[in-house]
């Protein structure tokens, strides 16, 4: 077989095996660029209306207006995923494809210490100890860390944006401590947090009665409404 065909076949395999992540990340980048372009237009329009100076697109990407808007959305996503991963450990929803079955033991609850010699197990499982303990909860910990990071970046950018507006409008700037108690900052956060939990609650409840053939997020089309889990 020609080398070019082997390379092509290998590339097709990579795309096929990672198509979901490629598609999602592509959508993310497309919409992030779209947000930055529209946000840039809005920002400069507001600057002109208030007699301020407009900025170049490259400057806008580091501007508090863009960073704050982006981070307040990211923080809500990471908070949602952290809470969801953790809640599904202990809480159940009978009939939902998003829940473990409360009537039986699940594979995700098995003790990994019994599989240290199993081929292909992750390194932390093979090593055991503290590393394994951390790895057992690494998914929720990663989302929690990402939430705190994006929350901090949101606060920093929103704080800077607020004080910039105050200066432009002849108002008084505030300290970081004072802004942490400002309703504006928490309004920016809560408006996103509530929507994320509504979205995931909708997924949990709608998957009881509705189906999507071929999706692992749905029960089989012929499954009873009372069947819990994806199987």
> For the segment 158-198, what is each residue's pLDDT rounded down to a tens digit?
999 999 999 888 899 999 999 999 999 999 999 999 999 99
The band of 231, judged by pLDDT with boundaries at 50, 70 and 90, is low
* Domain range enclosing 6: 1-61
Last residue of a domain, which of 15, 42, 61?
A: 61
Q: Are residues 15 and 38 in the same domain?
A: yes
What is the structure's pLDDT at 1?
47
Claim to verify: residue 48 and residue 89 sit in the same structural domain: no
DSSP secondary structure, 83-150, as one string? HHHHHHHH---TT-TTS--TTS--GGGS-GGGGTTSTT--HHHHH-HHHHHHHHTHHHHHHHHHHHHH
Identify the domain boundary among 38, 61, 84. Answer: 61
Residue 230 has pLDDT above 80, yes or no: no
8/72 same-domain check = no
**Cα distances (angstroms) measured from residue 161 to each of 48, 138, 173:** 17, 34, 11
| 89 shares its domain with 178 | yes
> What percentage of residues in the chain have a pLDDT greater than 90?
80
End-to-end CA distance of the chain: 41
- As a whole number, mean pLDDT of residues 10-23 equals 93
Alpha carbon distances (Å) from 7 to 13, 16, 26, 200, 210: 10, 14, 23, 40, 42
Do 99 and 15 fall into the same domain? no
Shared-domain flag, residues 75 and 187: yes
Predicted confidence (pLDDT) per residue in 128-168, tens digit: 999 999 999 999 999 999 999 999 999 999 999 999 999 88
| 82 and 16 belong to one structural domain | no
Question: Average pLDDT, stretch 28-50?
Answer: 96
**Do the Cβ atoms of 68 and 197 come closer than 8 Å?**
no
21 and 119 assigned to the same domain:
no
Return the structure tokens found at 224.
Answer: 């009873």
In terms of domains, do 179 and 222 share one? yes
pLDDT value at 41 more than 50: yes
The tokens describing 37, both together, are 């372009």
Residues 230 and 106 sit within 8 Å (Cβ to Cβ): no
Q: Tokens 């300290």 correspond to what residue?
A: 175
User: What pTM was computed for the model?
Assistant: 0.90
Q: Do residues 32 and 85 share a domain?
A: no
Structure tokens at 34: 């779209």
Q: For residue 22, what are the contacts with CB-CB under 8 A and spacing of at least 6? A: 15
Residues 151 and 98 in one domain: yes
Question: If you search the block for the tokens 């507001």, which residue do you land on?
Answer: 46
Q: Is residue 9's pLDDT more than 90?
A: no
Q: Is the dihedral of CA 80, 86, 92, 21 positive or negative?
A: positive
Of 20, 42, 61, at which residue does a domain stop?
Answer: 61
101 and 208 co-located in one domain: yes
| Distance (Å, whole) CA 136 – CA 33 | 36
Question: Which is nearest to 189 in space by CA: 35, 43, 71?
Answer: 71
Per the structure, the count of domains in the chain is: 2
Which of 9-18, 25-34, 61-70, 203-212 is least confident?
Answer: 9-18
């Amino acid at each position: 077989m020609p080398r070019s065909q082997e390379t092509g076949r290998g590339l097709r395999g990579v795309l096929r095996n990672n198509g979901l992540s490629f598609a999602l990340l592509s959508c993310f980048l497309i919409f992030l660029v779209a947000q930055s372009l529209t946000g840039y237009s809005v920002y400069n329009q507001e600057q002109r209306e208030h007699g301020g100076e407009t900025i170049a697109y490259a400057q806008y990407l580091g501007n508090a207006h863009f960073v704050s808007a982006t981070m307040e959305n990211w923080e809500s996503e990471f908070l949602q995923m952290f809470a969801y991963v953790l809640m599904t450990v202990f809480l159940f929803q009978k009939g939902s494809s998003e829940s473990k079955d409360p009537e039986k033991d699940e594979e995700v609850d098995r003790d990994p210490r019994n599989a240290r010699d199993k081929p292909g197990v992750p390194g932390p499982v093979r090593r055991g100890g503290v590393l394994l303990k951390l790895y057992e909860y690494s998914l929720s910990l990663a989302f929690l860390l990402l939430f705190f990071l994006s929350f901090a970046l949101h606060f920093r950018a929103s704080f800077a944006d607020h004080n910039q507006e105050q200066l432009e409008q002849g108002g008084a700037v505030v300290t970081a401590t004072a802004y942490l108690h400002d309703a504006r900052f928490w309004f920016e956060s809560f408006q996103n947090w509530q929507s994320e939990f509504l979205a995931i609650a909708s997924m949990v409840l709608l998957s009881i009665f509705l189906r999507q053939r071929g999706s692992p997020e749905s029960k089989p089309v012929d499954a009873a409404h009372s069947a819990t889990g994806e199987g």
